[in-house]
Amino acid sequence: MFKKILIANRGEIALRVIRTCREMGIKTVAVYSTADKDSLHVRFADEAVCIGKPPGADSYLNIPNIMAAAEITNADAVHPGYGFLAENAKFSQICADYGIKFIGPTPAMINSMGDKVTAKETMIKAGVPVVPGGHGLLENIEQAKSIAKEIGYPVILKATAGGGGKGMRLVWEESQMENSYNTAKIEAAGSFKNDGIYLEKYVEEPHHIEIQIAGDQYGNISHLSERDCSIQRRHQKLVEESPSPFMTPDLRQRMGDAARKAAQAINYESVGTIEFLVDKHRDFYFMEMNTRIQVEHCVTEEVTNFDLIKEQILIAAGRHISGKDYEPKMHAIECRINAEDPYNDFRPSPGRITTLHTPGGHGVRVDSHVYAGYVIPPYYDSMIGKLITVAQTREEAINTMYRALSEYVIEGVKTTIPFHLQLMQNEDFRNGHFTTKFLEGFKLK
């Protein structure tokens, strides 16, 4: 087992990893930018190394600095968290070159899923259903038009190196294609330095349902069932839950099998998530694979009673997994608490937290790195905590969430708590009637 793990991340996920390492008796090294000097993960870790100035490129994305920190502290493993370098094949490779275990997949696994076009081709070969679309990158507008005609509008143009909703364009009819094609390419080039785009059928009003998987170094794959992440704003998840209100035992079995096939196709090691789009007929299509631990992993932890970070570390240390699958035993919901003003288009609201009171009680979990007096730096993402509730039924989990949100006091900055409170009272949400389009029609009072 590892003696010392360096966490190449910040905020709540760094804290999350440190907590599990503490329980496992593993020493921890926190790295931090000068803006994160007073951050909780720095205080909780056994050792801390300042690795650079606030911008990501100078610190949390700076591979040489992180490797130097690992060297001077004699860390024998690195946990990359999510975001930053978590899915950076080069970083995974450099760790391997230096004899430091990267707690995640190998560079080859990351590459096979990182490029959306390659990922799709791999899935087709593995017999996993994919969204109908063109094969490979588009060469010109005429080709785009002809593929779209074949599979039928509406279609969506997507950046192959993309993420976060950038480089995407919805095209409802042929007359829009030329303009959409050109602007999608320009946006992709600007965001990812790669203007390659491809085309897919646009699955209307889909449910975003993802399957959590885990794979060991010996070819065993387990799945831990689904999370429904359909509540999204501009392709950013705000609320996640398990089980999905749209799930049936048959669908779970089919999706679980498909997820396992996807992971086996690349001989996946570590924890990961296969994201699917599910249409109203309960036909599902592979969207993408995230080769890392995800923000919403806590939801699965609460309904299956596994510590996923611990599983991830054990797998990296060479432990065999059972290969069994796990179904949700309870119902859990997670609300992402962001320092954003929901009344002003969710504008980010960094600054000093003057008062903080976190909720408690039965079925309430708070994963957060902030404290009263903490100054939220403006350089990083706006998520300041995750509130998770778990209960025996969905209705009870929602009621507990409402109660917990009402107790959650954060003053000094604006947060999305008012939005979540209203969502928990929304009739369609409470009835489980929602797709990824839900928030477009949601009016904040």
Partner 1 sequence: MDLKQIHELIKIVNKSNIGEISIEDKDGKVTIKQKEEQVVTVAAPPQQVYNVSHQPQQAQAPAPAPAAPVSAPAAKADNLITVKSPMIGTFYRRQSPDKPLLVDIGASIEPGKVLCIIEAMKLFNEIEAEIKGTIVKILVEDNSPVEFDQPLFLVEPA
Catalytic sites, residue numbers? 292
Which H helix or E strand runs over 233?
A: strand 221-233
Minimum separation from the CB atom of position 155 to partner 1 (A): 47
Minimum separation from the CB atom of position 9 to partner 1 (A): 17
Q: Which is nearer to partner 1, 127 or 318 (CB)?
A: 318
Residues in the chain, total: 445
State which of residues 10, 13, 18, 52 lies at the interface with partner 1 (CB under 8 A): 52
Minimum separation from the CB atom of position 75 to partner 1 (A): 10
Q: Which is nearer to partner 1, 374 or 434 (CB)?
A: 374
State which of residues 34, 322, 392, 431 lies at the interface with partner 1 (CB under 8 A): 34
What SS3 class is residue 372? coil
**Measured at the alpha carbon of residue 126, what is the angle toward residues 124 and 129, in degrees to the nearest 5?**
50
Q: Which is nearer to partner 1, 37 or 437 (CB)?
A: 37
Nearest residue to 12 (alpha-carbon basis) of 369, 360, 343, 375: 369
315 near 321, Cβ under 8 Å?
A: yes
Q: Which stretch binds partner 1 (CB under 8 A): 36-44, 145-153, 315-323, 346-354?
A: 36-44
Minimum separation from the CB atom of position 44 to partner 1 (A): 10
What SS3 class is residue 111? helix
15 near 367, Cβ under 8 Å?
A: yes
160: its two tokens: 């192959």
| Torsion (CA) 127, 117, 61, 71 in degrees, nearest 10 | 50
- Residues 58-77 vs partner 1: string with x where CB under 8 A? -x----xx-xxx-xxxx-x-
Q: Which stretch binds partner 1 (CB under 8 A): 39-47, 77-85, 175-183, 349-357?
A: 39-47
For residue 373, state whether it binds partner 1 (rule: CB under 8 A): no
The CA distance from 120 to 198, in Å, is: 11
For residue 218, state whether it binds partner 1 (rule: CB under 8 A): no
Q: Which is nearer to partner 1, 50 or 141 (CB)?
A: 50
| Torsion (CA) 58, 351, 369, 166 in degrees, nearest 10 | -60
For residue 27, state whether it binds partner 1 (rule: CB under 8 A): yes
297 near 271, Cβ under 8 Å?
A: yes
For residue 376, state whether it binds partner 1 (rule: CB under 8 A): no
Tell me if the bond preceding 154 is cis, omega within 30° of 0: yes
Interface with partner 1 (CB under 8 A): 3, 27, 34, 37, 42-43, 45-53, 59, 64-65, 67-69, 71-74, 76, 98
